[in-house]
Structure 1
Amino acid sequence: MGFFWDTKFHVESCCSDSPTPSSSPLWASIVSILNSHSIKITGKTLGFLNPLLYQMAKECPNCLKDITVGNNKCTSTICTNQCKGFQAACGWDPVTGLGSPNIGNILKYITKLLEKNKTTITQRKIYLNFTELTSDLREYFSNPSANLTEKLFPWIYYSPNNRTVNDFKGEKNSKGIVICTGNEHFGVALVAIKALEIIENELPIEVIYSTSSDLSQENQDILRKNYPNIRLIDLSTMSFNDNYLKLRGWEIKSYAVLASQFEQVLLIDADVLFFEKPSILFQHELYIQTGSLFFHDRPIITKGHIHWIESFSIQSNRTYPQRTQESGVVLIDKSRLFFGLLAICKLNDYHERHRITYEHLYGDKDTWWIGLHMMNLSYSFVPTMTAGIGQIGKKKKQTIICGHLLHYDEQKTLLWWNGGILKNRSQNKRDLLNIEAWNVEGQWRIGIYSCLSNNEQQPRKFTSRQQQLLNSYHRITTEVFHI
Structure 2
Amino acid sequence: MYSLYAQLTSKYPFFQRSRYKYIAIAAVFVLFLYTFFHIDRNGLEVSSRLRNPFRASSSSSSLPNLTAIVSDAASYFTNYPLPSSAFGELGRRTELLTSWIKLSDTLAPSFTPNETATLDSALNTALLASFPFLRNPSLPYTSTDFHTLQQANRAPFTALRHRIRSGTRGIVIPAGKPQFRFAAHLIQNLRAVLNSSLPIQIAYAGDGDLPHEYRAALCGLAANVSALDVLSVFDDRSLQLRDGKAGWAVKPFAALASDFEQVVLLDADVVFAARPEDTVLRTLGYNETGVMLYHDQLVSQNKFVDRAEWWRWELKKAGRTPSEALRKSKVWTEGYAEEGDSGVVVLDKRRLEVLTGLLHVAWQNSREVRDEWTYKMTYGDKESWWFGMELSGVPFAFEEHYGAVLGDKVPIRSGANVRRNGTASVGLKMPKEKVCGFSIAHAGEDGKLLWYNGSLLKNKAVDQKEFTVPEWWMIDAEWVKGATKADVSCMKGGQVLAVDADALRVMSETVERAKLVDKAFAKLIANLES
Question: TM-score, length-normalised on structure 2?
Answer: 0.64
Task: Find out whether 1:206 has 2:201 as its counterpart.
Answer: yes
Give the drift of 1:131: 3.8
Equivalence for 2:71: none
Q: Distance in 2 between matches of 1:234 and 1:454?
A: 44
Among 431, 446, 453, the alignment partner of 2:481 is 446
Residue pair 1:384, 1:409 contacting (<8 A) in 2 also:
no
Q: Distance in 2 between matches of 1:430 and 1:454?
A: 28
Give the drift of 1:243: 2.5
Q: Which amino acid aligns with 2:341?
A: E
Give the drift of 1:303: 4.7
Change (3 A) 1:466 1:128: closer
Deviations 1:159-184 (A, max 9, x none): 42163113334211211111111100
Q: Distance in 2 between matches of 1:131 and 1:200?
A: 43
Deviations 1:130-171 (A, max 9, x none): 344333333432346233233222222244216311333421
Among 187, 190, 194, the alignment partner of 1:196 is 190
Residue pair 2:175, 2:204 contacting (<8 A) in 1 also:
yes
Equivalence for 1:370: 387
Equivalence for 1:60: none
- The 5 Å alignment of 1:378-457 reads 378-397=395-414, 398-403=432-437, 404-447=439-482, 448-457=486-495
- The 5 Å alignment of 1:276-291 reads 276-279=274-277, 280-291=279-290
Q: Which amino acid aligns with 2:500?
A: T
Change (3 A) 1:309 1:350: same
Equivalence for 2:511: 474
Residue pair 2:449, 2:503 contacting (<8 A) in 1 also:
no
Task: Find out whether 1:136 has 2:85 as its counterpart.
Answer: no
Equivalence for 1:254: 252
Equivalence for 2:343: 328
Equivalence for 1:13: none
Equivalence for 1:460: 497
Q: Distance in 2 between matches of 1:281 and 1:330?
A: 9
Q: Distance in 2 between matches of 1:409 and 1:471?
A: 20
Residue pair 2:291, 2:348 contacting (<8 A) in 1 also:
yes
Residue pair 2:124, 2:157 contacting (<8 A) in 1 also:
no
Give the drift of 1:228: 5.1
Give SS of 1:453's match. Answer: strand
Equivalence for 2:130: 152
Question: TM-score, length-normalised on structure 1?
Answer: 0.70
Give SS of 2:176's match. Answer: coil
Q: Distance in 1 between matches of 2:94 and 2:131?
A: 10
Residue pair 2:183, 2:269 contacting (<8 A) in 1 also:
yes
Task: Find out whether 1:181 has 2:175 as its counterpart.
Answer: yes
Residue pair 1:199, 1:276 contacting (<8 A) in 2 also:
yes
Deviations 1:107-147 (A, max 9, x none): xxxxxxxxxxxxxxxxx864333344333333432346233
Give the drift of 1:206: 0.8
Give the drift of 1:362: 1.1
Structure of higher CA gyration radius:
1
Change (3 A) 1:147 1:432: same
Q: Which amino acid aligns with 2:319?
A: Q
Q: Distance in 2 between matches of 1:143 and 1:462?
A: 49
Q: Distance in 1 between matches of 2:88 and 2:292?
A: 26
Residue pair 1:134, 1:312 contacting (<8 A) in 2 also:
no
Equivalence for 2:75: none
Equivalence for 1:19: none
Unaligned runs of 5+ in 1: 1-123
Give the drift of 1:307: 2.1
Residue pair 1:441, 1:452 contacting (<8 A) in 2 also:
no
Q: Which amino acid aligns with 1:452?
A: C
Q: Distance in 1 between matches of 2:221 and 2:447?
A: 35
Q: Distance in 1 between matches of 2:512 and 2:330?
A: 38
- The 5 Å alignment of 1:61-100 reads none
Task: Find out whether 1:273 has 2:271 as its counterpart.
Answer: yes
Equivalence for 1:243: 237
Equivalence for 2:293: 294
Give SS of 2:350's match. Answer: helix
Give SS of 1:326's match. Answer: coil
Q: Which amino acid aligns with 1:451?
A: S
Task: Find out whether 1:348 has 2:365 as its counterpart.
Answer: yes
Q: Which amino acid aligns with 2:255?
A: V
Over the matched positions of the two proteins, sequence identity in percent amounts to 27
Give the drift of 1:318: 1.9
Equivalence for 1:56: none
Q: Distance in 2 between matches of 1:278 and 1:299?
A: 25
Q: Distance in 2 between matches of 1:422 and 1:469?
A: 15
Change (3 A) 1:312 1:436: closer
Q: Distance in 2 between matches of 1:209 and 1:230?
A: 14
Change (3 A) 1:330 1:150: same
Among 160, 165, 169, the alignment partner of 1:168 is 160
Greater share of strand: 1
Residue pair 2:91, 2:388 contacting (<8 A) in 1 also:
no
Q: Distance in 2 between matches of 1:231 and 1:443?
A: 41
Give the drift of 1:360: 1.2
Deviations 1:193-237 (A, max 9, x none): 00101111121111101011111222012123333521210111x
Among 322, 347, 366, the alignment partner of 1:318 is 322
Q: Distance in 2 between matches of 1:434 and 1:469?
A: 10
Q: Distance in 2 between matches of 1:395 and 1:304?
A: 35
Q: Distance in 1 between matches of 2:475 and 2:383?
A: 23
Greater share of helix: 2
Residue pair 2:469, 2:504 contacting (<8 A) in 1 also:
no
RMSD: 2.3
Q: Distance in 2 between matches of 1:128 and 1:390?
A: 40
Equivalence for 1:38: none
Equivalence for 2:309: 307
Q: Distance in 1 between matches of 2:364 and 2:287?
A: 25
Give the drift of 1:342: 0.8
Give SS of 2:172's match. Answer: strand
Q: Distance in 2 between matches of 1:356 and 1:199?
A: 39
Task: Find out whether 1:229 has 2:224 as its counterpart.
Answer: yes
Give SS of 1:390's match. Answer: strand
Unaligned runs of 5+ in 2: 1-80, 102-122, 140-148, 332-338, 415-431, 523-530
Q: Distance in 2 between matches of 1:333 and 1:450?
A: 36
Change (3 A) 1:466 1:225: closer
Residue pair 2:364, 2:384 contacting (<8 A) in 1 also:
yes
